[in-house]
Structure 1
């Protein structure tokens, strides 16, 4: 726990809570400790009960960590009430939407219970539009949201291209009426999506008839502190703008260069404009206590940032580039050697497709290959491999399920009431398959499919299979498993290019998963080219310091304390010079 605060940190801890404040914190600045100390100080001095301070973050894990840190700066008898420490979503739901939303939606409730039932976009809701759109049929009410402030619709059907097709439609009056009427029926029935909750909050704060409620909310929470403010989206900023007009004072904590949620409409320029419009007082934290200076310098180059002071070092080569010819797994032996002196080494990539190469370098797996890889990856002592195994197995079973599923819950069929029961079934079914040595990657596809075909037909007879799951998977009893075309005599391991588990037992995470973490060594893996998702290739990281691609690289590259490695496709001479000029040593592989 940090107790010897710097002058910059002390300035923020002593800052006023009677005005808008922005704590602009660089990576490794001790932000969480400083915020915890600030909150603990304000809570201990608080004299305005039953009013309280709202301290909001964007994940339960961040909330738990903040509570723990606040406790360490407080006396043993610290009581959080009347203050609120939780997620932004839970605050909006509990204190704005839940008490009065029925007055907006006209939901009649049940026995004076007006609780809203939140449904995901993957759920089967049969409230749908009267007309068809984008040539794909009628729209379910939980597949879109309406923003009354901007008079626009946003779509989240679960299919990116479908969403894009809908986004560009200029709806005619009768189409817009159809969409609005459908959404009203959905809300009136007591349902809501997570997006709807935020939009209902905007409507409530706009409603003249609810002005008294909004003023009372301001009295209840006159100060709101928001951690990771760069993750604020357009609608969330709109909510805060309305709370400001009722008198709430805001503290923003964050680093706009770490804004990497563009897909959720989180734009750092919008946050910056918000702070300028409302006259926030800026408090910078410019000392990085995590990373050595060469890593800090490189990160500043990525986003054209201000001067940040890192840890001093007498060593060289803290920033290294490793080149691969065909597949990133080629760098593993060298990476293993370089990271051996350290305890905490992590492989980072833009997305899961790149990370999957460290389990198998095979691409475009068909269904039987997914099943084989799921069984081969199954390892109850390795959470990452276990999760990947269950995911692949669920993807295979999805082809046998004749109803809609929840993709975010391991493809749990909608008719199964508990995703947990479904997950337990997947786990036990994989154990059943592994017990018959179906994880032997040395055998040929012909031998493996012969054994697997017999074993998989026995699954539904096992005691761990509940009746409703057996009904959904009834076709499992007569499914046919065939070798991939032309590969009958080839070994599974060779065909799937399975990476040796002892070679790559290190953590492998996406950029979004490591945000906020500290590593000893981080290897950031670049795709071979710019094809695919935005921000996956090293050239995109250096193209323009104002883009999200640059910010993605900034977040990933600012995780390590001692050693930053970029793994890139074989460089041309000019590219080698380009990377050397920003501080990298291009090192040959072992």
Structure 2
């Protein structure tokens, strides 16, 4: 993909906090990786590190692979090793929770994650009058005006819990060193507030932080980043408010939208879509009140959903091939999607000859009979093999044979 002028402007931007609002398919990944490299080069001899954070291990693996490919052209020096990619929770766990949070938690050991199924957690539940107790793993943490609140999901709604009661349980659990995923973010924030030396050290080590998919930042993540920003960290946010998927966690994209309005932040946009065809982009623009431009031009073809009878399947595949030829396309540029694996194998010509799969079943039956004296298990496998070789065998035939066998015994 050739970089657009918008991408080049972002990559070459000076060392300042920036906000990038991007449309779908605009090359956010390619831009973020190149910006990561450019930041580290602009930092020159500084010992500080630059880190790119995202929300999933899949995204982190994608960024690491892209960075590894581009980094081969870079000098193999200390600067190249001062670039990191991680998930948000992974980064905060490694640098704050595990080494430092135990002091804030008043624990005698390093903090550790619990899944919620541990037996000892039955002593740390939130009780509501007339309702079953709530395990801590079901309690979600949020922040508003720098103050914590605790909720549980009830269908599409949230129920606000008694903060003082929840905190009593959270603090008791904290003394054991344990935390859930949501409570981990709570303790990260509390650790940075109660141990300012940790906050200063983290800001000095990571003066540049990039956050991908920042429209999905929850309220606690936002406040943690605010602490780092106030300590001098330059934060770059990259995302698209129209692609948010973490609304249930309090992420509404407002942090990204309002970030650009700050005096110290420079706003950039990515408006060229490299993925979708013009008709799709036009619909997206009308729905999202955007003015994104397509890089691809209108193309022949499209998606076809067709119902058919079993006897018409050969005619259907031949008609599909003929249509591909009419469009002047290569067959390898088309795809037929099926709901079942067996049907896909038949159309692709990979179906096993009759009896091939049953040889394995009969062999397993022989082993059960001769090596384990498991005659009942052997009989079940033989029944399955025989039914599998019959054309249009009635439904439930295997059960019928087995039932007859049990009666004759």
Please report the TM-score for the alignment, with normalisation by the length of structure 1: 0.51
**Residue 20 of structure 2 contacts residue 267 of structure 2 at CA under 8 Å; is this kept in 1?**
yes
Contact 2:24 2:273 (C-alpha < 8 Å) held by counterparts: yes
Shift of 1:14: 0.7
Please state how far the C-alpha of 1:321 moved relative to its aligned partner: 8.3
Aligned to 1:10: 8
Say yes or no: does 1:168 pair with 2:155. Answer: no
**Which of 240, 244, 256 is the aligned partner of 1:271?**
256
Contact 1:125-1:140 at 8 Å conserved across structures? no
Instruction: Give the alignment partner of residue 243 of structure 1, picking from 218, 228, 243.
Output: 228
For 1:499-558, what per-residue CA distance to the aligned partner results, in whole angstroms no more than 9, with x for missing partners? Answer: xxxxxxxxxxxxxxxxxxxxxxxxxxxxxxxxxxxxxxxxxxxxxxxxxxxxxxxxxxxx
Residues 343-369 of structure 1, C-alpha deviations (whole Å, 9 max, x = no match): 47698xxxxxxxxx9469xxxxxxxxx
Q: Please give the residue correspondences for 1:24-39 in structure 2 after superposition, counting only pairs within 5 Å.
A: 24-39=21-36
**Alignment RMSD:** 3.9
Counterparts of 2:383 and 2:35, CA distance in 1: 58
2:54 pairs with 1:57:
yes
| 1:66-88 per-position Cα deviation (integer Å, ceiling 9, x unaligned) | 12222332326366533321111
Higher Cα Rg, which structure: 2
More helix by share: 2
CA distance in 1, matches of 2:99, 2:261: 32
Q: Could you report, residue by residue, the CA deviation over 1:388-412 in whole angstroms, capped at 9, with x for unpaired residues?
A: xxxxxxxxxxxxxxxxxxxxxxxxx
Paired residues for 1:101-500 under 5 Å = 101-109=101-109, 114=110, 116-121=111-116, 124-129=119-124, 132-133=127-128, 135-147=130-142, 149-155=146-152, 160-161=154-155, 167-168=158-159, 171=162, 176-207=163-194, 210-277=195-262, 279-313=264-298, 315=299, 337=320, 341=331, 343=333, 358=339, 437=384, 444=394, 446-449=396-399
CA deviation after TM superposition for structure 1 residue 204, in Å: 1.9
Cα shift readout 1:302-330 (whole Å, capped 9, x = no counterpart): 322123233123x4675x68699xxxxxx
2:19 alignment partner, SS class: strand
Residue number in structure 1 paired with 2:84: 84
Work out the CA distance in 2 between the residues paired with 1:346 and 1:288: 26
Q: Which residue of 2 aligns with 1:68?
A: 65
Q: Structure 1, unaligned stretches of length 5 or more?
A: 325-332, 348-356, 361-375, 380-432, 455-590
The 1:278/1:267 distance shift into structure 2, 3 A limit, reads farther
Q: Decide whether the 8 Å contact of 1:225 with 1:252 is kept in 2.
A: yes
In terms of mean alpha carbon deviation, does 118-127 or 21-30 score higher? Answer: 118-127
CA distance in 1, matches of 2:381, 2:128: 46
Deviations 1:28-68 (A, max 9, x none): 22222222222223334443443201111112222122122
Per the alignment, residue 97 of structure 2 pairs with 97
Assess if the C-alpha contact under 8 Å between 2:56 and 2:87 holds in 1.
Answer: yes
Question: How many pairs align?
Answer: 347
Counterparts of 1:169 and 1:434, CA distance in 2: 56
Contact 2:273 / 2:292 at 8 angstroms: preserved in 1?
no
2:39 matched to 1:42?
Answer: yes
TM-superposed deviation, 1:246: 0.8
1:230–1:259 contact (8 Å) kept in structure 2: yes
Quote the offset at 1:218 in angstroms: 0.7
Q: 1:213 to 1:285 in 2, by over 3 A?
A: same
